[in-house]
Amino acid sequence: MRVVQRVVCEGVSKVFGGHRALIGISTTFDAGVITLVEGPNGAGKSTLLGLVGGLTRPTAGEIRWVRDGGERLSREEVRLSIGWVGHDTMLYGDLTGRENLVLAARLLGRTTDFEALSERFGLTGILDRPVRVCSRGQRQRLALSRALLHEPS
């Protein structure tokens, strides 16, 4: 699999209608490094993450996804290299944790080792419950396991 080693943002701006969500952001994200993006409500954190994840395009500036050696990757190639958990867990409440993970794995063309996931993320006892009855922390652990089941760089 082709993996992203670095995401480079140069002068990235994003405008929604007349609202400037981001203005001239230049930064680099390296694979394998956990990065905290913080700021007040409305600062553009989610917008930046959506841009970095290839979910939307910048209004101005450039985002480059590169692997070692400087080879550039397309937006489509990027999605399998990034794992992302935002505020919304993006889990289906009427499905069980297991069903959510099976669905995500199938969409990614992967199989799921539930024993390993359960051990790694403390999912024992919640995999077979509907997500809607799980606590916020349990939903976050399910979301994290979903975000990492394809082993993103």
Residues 45-89 have pLDDT tens digits of 989 988 998 888 999 999 999 988 888 888 877 877 778 787 789
Beta pairing class for 6-16 and 19-30: antiparallel
pLDDT value at residue 86: 77
CB 112 within 8 A of CB 101: yes
**pTM for this predicted structure:** 0.72
Quote the CA–CA distance of 118 and 113 in Å, as a whole number: 9
pLDDT value at residue 115: 83
Q: Please state, as a whole number, how many other Cβ atoms lie within 10 Å of the Cβ of residue 32.
A: 6
pLDDT value at residue 2: 54
Residue 65: CA count within 13 A, CB half-sphere: 19
Which amino acid type is present at position 83? G
Contacts of 132 (CB under 8 A, 6+ apart): 93, 94
Quote the CA–CA distance of 94 and 110 in Å, as a whole number: 22
Alpha helix locations (H) across 5-113? Answer: 45-52, 75-78, 97-107
Match 């199989």 to its residue by tokens: 111
Low-confidence spans in the chain with pLDDT less than 70: 1-2, 153
Q: What is the pLDDT of residues 78-89, one digit of tens each?
A: 877 778 787 789
CB 12 within 8 A of CB 26: yes
